[in-house]
Structure 1
Amino acid sequence: MARNHYYLSIADLARARGDDPRFAYEGAGPNDFAATLQQALRDDALFQRWRAAQPDPDAVDSSLGSTDPGAQVTAQVTDLHTDVDLITDLPMSVVRHRLYLLIGAAWQLRDMRAV
């Protein structure tokens, strides 16, 4: 599988939260967010908790539970927003799902490149 480098931007990380507090990011800073997202991509614990909360867990697309043990995430504050660099072999559909669980629609994909 090809590895991709995703460049993301979060306008206000301090207020970025997913819709469901059971799965939402609870940290405060870019390093904490990077570690949380990295863990969410490296293992399926967040996905499994979300899946179990669905009305019909068996009907959930299991491909959304894909993981990348080698996913790398860094984040830093730049000009009043947070830049996130993510390197993974996961497809954007999985990355998007985990981001929405953690911080909702508070992020923007700036660029994506093959590594």
Structure 2
Amino acid sequence: MATRYYLSLPDAQRARGSEPALSFTAVSAEGFAEQLQDALRSDRLFERWRAMQPDPDEVDASLGATDPGATVDGQQDDLHIDLVLTSSIPGTVLKHRMRLLAGAGWELRDVTAA
């Protein structure tokens, strides 16, 4: 079952995770949407993060869930960016990926059935 998540990046320049190798690098709404979509459709971001952990084999494998059909649309309004994500990814996985990508520079505004 797909869920629609409404996310906001209040200040796009500050929407960066604490580890630059895992963080957003985008500067446009389309770029943020593309990078988030890739982080949900594939396990590349998760695997890079996992390899950085002290004991990668102990990492909860459920955090590596992917959704090849995930879609993300982005719109920019001045400095803030709104992202609308449609995916079957569990909320805990989405929150983990967003913390890697954006650190604390994001907000979950709403969640609805897709």
TM band (smaller chain): over 0.9
Question: Does structure 1 retain, via aligned residues, the 8 Å contact 2:47–2:64?
Answer: yes
How far off is 1:81 after superposition? 1.4
| Length, aligned pairs only | 114
Contact persistence 1:14–1:29 (CA under 8 A): no
* Structure-1-length-normalised TM-score: 0.95
Letter in 2 for 1:25: F
Counterpart of 1:20?
Answer: 19
Question: 3-state SS of the aligned residue for 1:21?
Answer: coil
Match of 2:71 in 1: 72
**Matched residue, 2:92:** 93
Structure 1: 5+ residue runs without aligned partners?
Answer: none
Equivalent-residue separation in structure 2 for 1:105 and 1:14 (angstroms):
12
Whole-Å Cα distance in 2 between the matches of residues 26 and 90 of structure 1? 22
TM, length-normalised to structure 2: 0.96
Measure, in 2, the Cα distance between the counterparts of 1:80 and 1:36: 18
Instruction: For 2:95 and 2:10, locate their aligned partners in 1 and report how far apart those are by CA, in whole Å.
Output: 16
Q: 1:80 offset after TM fit, Å? A: 3.8
Aligned CA-pair RMSD: 0.9
Structure 1 runs (4+) deviating above 6 angstroms are none
Would the aligned equivalents of 1:42 and 1:69 in 2 still touch at CA under 8 Å? Answer: yes
Three-state SS of the structure 1 residue aligned to 2:111 is: strand
Residue identity matched to 1:68: D
Q: Is the 8 A contact 2:12 2:79 kept in 1?
A: no
Distance (Å, rounded) in 2 between the aligned partners of 1:45 and 1:110 = 26
The residue number in structure 2 matching 1:59 is: 58
Deviations for 1:34-88, whole angstroms, at most 9, x for unmatched residues?
0000000000001001001100001100000000000000111125411110000
Further displaced range: 79-88 or 91-100: 79-88
SS at match of 2:97: helix
Unaligned stretches of 5+ residues in structure 2: none
